[in-house]
Amino acid sequence: IVLTQSPGTLSLSPGERATLSCRASQGVTSGYVAWYQQKPGQAPRLLMFDVSTRATGTPDRFSGSGSGTDFALTISRLEPEDFAVYFCQQYGASPWTFGQGTKVEIK
Amino acid sequence: EVQLVESGGDLVQPGGSLRLSCVASGFTFDDYMMHWVRQSPGKGLEWVAGISWNSGVTGYVDSVRGRFTISRDSAKNSLFLQMNSLTPEDTALYYCSKGGIAARHPFDSWGQGTLVTVSS
């Protein structure tokens, strides 16, 4: 399953809303979609799983949505620590695959 | 606290071999599926291989199948990746990551990675 994320880069200011898209080449089994955040020089960190369940420690300004082939991660109000790269992943069918990432940068 | 510590990355010539290790702590290693994920410089994430809790099931991305072998040792709480016939396309930071009790589970903990460079 190929995951395509858009946009490649999102330039926003702190306090603004961010919406990241992840489109799958075929339906993702039972909504097994996760989102990861990666900051420079760090390993990825699990943010969301099962489309809309927040991982431990994920602030409630993060929310996930979608079904079938279209999924989204929304950050309601960007905080300075949210500027990073975000990857979606499907884990419903092997090989597990990731999107190419969306960079959220400070405008 | 879950900790995953990778080692074994190095500079190797094309056609060479390397064995990566990952020592796990802070959870019951025997209960969980484990994975290797790689990230090429400045690029995205690619799942490389996974292994079930009892080593009964393994899986690989097509580009490494037949060249890489994933394994685990419960006595040492360790995960391994034997990499043979390496090519420059295998150059990447290799992460060890923890899956779930079931196969369909996200990767909820990651190590800091070990760098593999394949170059002459």
Closest CA to A84 of A33, A43, A31: A43
pLDDT exceeds 90 at position A58: yes
Q: Do B113 and A43 touch (CB under 8 A)?
A: yes
Output the pLDDT for position A19. 98
Cα–Cα distance measured from residue A83 to residue A24, given in angstroms and rounded to the nearest whole number: 24
Taking the Cβ of residue A100 and every Cβ of chain B, the question of whether any pair is shorter than 8 Å is answered with yes
Burial of B63 (0-12, 13-18, 19+ CB in 10 A): middle
CA separation for the pair B30, B45 (Å, rounded): 26
| pLDDT tens digits, one per residue of A8-37 | 999 999 999 999 999 999 999 888 999 999
**What is the reported pLDDT for B9?**
97
A99 and B CB contact within 8 Å = yes
pLDDT given for residue A90 in this prediction: 97
What are A59-69's pLDDT values in tens digits? 999 999 999 99
Instruction: Tell me what pLDDT residue A9 has.
Output: 97
Question: A87 and B44 in contact by Cβ < 8 A?
Answer: yes
**Nearest chain A CA: its distance from B1 CA (Å):** 13
Size of interface A-B (CB pairs under 8 A): 57
Which stretches in chain B have pLDDT values below 70?
none
